[in-house]
């Protein structure tokens, strides 16, 4: 080869065919890395689509059998449960009621699909009359008094059969309080997936419609993190791990991929990124207008989240991706169920 030809590198050599590109691909998506959020409501026969989240439904407990069957068939192995209570009050009573909506949903899911990993979101905001994440006095959320409610909620989820609890409230000390309470109640084997770095984000807008949890006054900036902070996220994560978290979540995902990446470098624990409601809604809206290619955008977004270092992705796109995969419209690492 002439000296002249060696003066630049030919990266394109390895991009010449689809199979060659596949062979050298560094980051692969696998359907088994996805956690699918479910919103559960009281009532019977309820399957109500969330306005700002096309394809996402509020489901009543009787619908969960069908849903679980569909998820497992698609190769999705884990769900994250949110509940919409019958009644909201100042003390978030239904959050830790043994017969509350999430507790009933967990029992039903474990009955119909024991192999499905059932993770529960532990927070008070869906259950309080004011929509805040804890006990409010004089317009402020009381941190330490709230811990007790969170711990009770986590234990009640474990009693119902949850495989893992995911505290999302961002109160200080909640992981320690929940770990202690779980251990004392005999649930030392139930892991905690902590929303360790959760930002005060406008991207949660559609979720608050889905979970009926918008705060009646004020916002969540007194406890969720300021979007400008990365180093603080690492301190939050380190603290949650010291307190006993088994795995952590960075949330939202897309505007915080640097945080995912920094966390991946620093900590040797499983990391999840939450591809939140607003991120989903934007993709769906643009796709509906014909402005973007939904499939390609979704695969690119999820690949980006994995490449940043998240091994688990909590995403509302999970079912769509699994279907495209099954129909051969996209290719990914094969899911266990599909490979069998
Ligand atoms: C709190 C909680 C929220 C989300 C997950 N857990 C909302 C909030 O903090 O206001 C948001 C998830 C999403 O936007 O998809 N229970």
Q: Which atom of ligand 1 is nearest to the CA of 215?
A: 10
User: What beta strand segments (E) does 168-325 contain?
Assistant: 193-198, 247-251, 271-275, 312-315
Query: 12 CA to middle of ligand 1, Å?
Result: 43
Please tell me the pTM assigned to this model. 0.95
Q: Which atom of ligand 1 is nearest to the CA of 278?
A: 14
| Sign of the Cα pseudo-torsion (30, 32, 38, 44, in order) | positive
Question: Rounded to whole angstroms, what are the CA distances from 133 to 3, 20, 175, 219?
Answer: 67, 50, 15, 10
Q: How many CB atoms lie within 10 A of CB 308?
A: 22
> Mean pLDDT across the stretch 239-253?
98
Q: Which of 131, 134, 154, 211 to mutate to test the pocket of ligand 1 (most atoms within 8 A of CB)?
A: 211
**pLDDT on residue 90:** 95
Cα–Cα distance measured from residue 45 to residue 253, given in angstroms and rounded to the nearest whole number: 33
The reply to whether 319 belongs to the active site is: no
Q: Which of 34, 50, 53, 123 to mutate to test the pocket of ligand 1 (most atoms within 8 A of CB)?
A: 123
Span 77-134, pLDDT tens digits: 999 999 999 999 999 999 999 999 999 999 999 999 999 999 999 999 999 999 999 9
Span 257-300, pLDDT tens digits: 999 999 999 999 999 999 999 999 999 999 999 999 999 999 99
Query: 171 CA to middle of ligand 1, Å?
Result: 14
Q: How many CB atoms lie within 10 A of CB 134?
A: 27
User: What beta strand segments (E) does the chain contain?
Assistant: 34-41, 47-50, 53-60, 78-84, 117-122, 135-137, 140-142, 164-167, 193-198, 247-251, 271-275, 312-315
Cα–Cα distance measured from residue 327 to residue 299, given in angstroms and rounded to the nearest whole number: 15
From atom 2 of ligand 1, which residue's Cα is the shortest distance away?
A: 168
Query: 214 CA to middle of ligand 1, Å?
Result: 10
Cβ–ligand 1 contact at 123 (below 6 Å): yes
**pLDDT on residue 331:** 76
Q: Which of 149, 204, 213 to mutate to test the pocket of ligand 1 (most atoms within 8 A of CB)?
A: 204
At CA 153, angle to CA 147 and CA 158, rounded to 5? 125
From the list 88, 110, 251, 319, the catalytic residue is: 251
Picking from 237, 319, 301, 312, the residue whose alpha carbon sits closest to that of residue 274 is 312
Cβ–ligand 1 contact at 277 (below 6 Å): yes
How confident is residue 339, by pLDDT bands cut at 50, 70 and 90?
very low
Cβ–ligand 1 contact at 63 (below 6 Å): no
- In the chain, where the domains are located: 27-339
Unique residue bearing structure tokens 């993190």? 225
Three-state SS at 225: strand
pLDDT for 4 beyond 90: no
Cβ–ligand 1 contact at 153 (below 6 Å): no
Q: Which atom of ligand 1 is nearest to the CA of 276?
A: 15
Residue 151 and residue 180 in contact, taking contact as beta carbons nearer than 8 Å: yes
- In CATH, the number for domain 27-339 is 3.20.20.70
**Dihedral, CA of residue 83, residue 88, residue 91 and residue 93, to nearest 10:** -60
Q: Which atom of ligand 1 is nearest to the CA of 124?
A: 16
Residue 304 has, within 13 A of its CA and on its CB side, a CA count of 14
């Amino acid at each position: 080869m002439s000296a002249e030809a060696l003066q630049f590198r030919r990266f394109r050599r390895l991009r010449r065919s689809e199979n060659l590109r596949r062979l050298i691909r560094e980051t692969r998506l696998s359907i088994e890395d996805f956690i699918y959020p479910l919103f559960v409501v009281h009532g019977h026969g309820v399957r109500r689509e969330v306005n700002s989240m096309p394809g996402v439904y509020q489901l009543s407990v009787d619908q969960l059998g069908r849903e679980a069957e569909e998820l497992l068939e698609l190769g999705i192995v884990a769900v994250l449960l949110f509940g919409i209570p019958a009644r909201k009050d100042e003390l978030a009573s239904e959050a830790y009621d043994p017969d509350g909506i999430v507790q009933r949903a967990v029992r039903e899911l474990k009955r119909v699909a024991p192999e499905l990993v059932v993770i529960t979101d532990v927070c008070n905001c869906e259950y309080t009359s004011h929509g805040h994440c804890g006990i409010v006095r004089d317009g402020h959320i009381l941190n330490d008094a709230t811990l007790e409610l969170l711990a009770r909620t986590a234990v009640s989820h474990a009693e119902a059969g949850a495989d893992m609890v995911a505290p999302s409230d961002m109160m200080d000390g909640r992981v320690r309080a929940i770990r202690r309470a779980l251990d004392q109640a005999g649930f030392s084997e139930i892991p905690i997936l902590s929303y360790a770095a959760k930002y005060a984000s406008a991207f949660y807008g559609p979720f608050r419609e889905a979970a009926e949890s918008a705060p009646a006054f004020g916002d969540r900036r007194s406890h969720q993190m300021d979007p400008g902070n990365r180093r603080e996220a690492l301190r939050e994560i380190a603290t949650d791990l010291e307190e006993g978290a088994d795995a952590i979540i960075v949330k939202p995902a897309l505007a915080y991929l640097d945080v995912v990446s920094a966390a991946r470098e620093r900590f040797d624990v499983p990391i999840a990124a939450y591809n939140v409601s607003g991120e989903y809604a934007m993709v769906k809206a643009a796709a509906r207008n014909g402005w973007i290619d939904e499939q390609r955008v979704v695969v690119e977004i999820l690949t980006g989240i994995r490449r940043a270092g998240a091994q688990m992705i909590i995403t509302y796109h999970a079912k769509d991706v699994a279907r495209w995969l099954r129909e051969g419209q996209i290719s990914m690492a094969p899911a266990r169920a599909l490979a069998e």
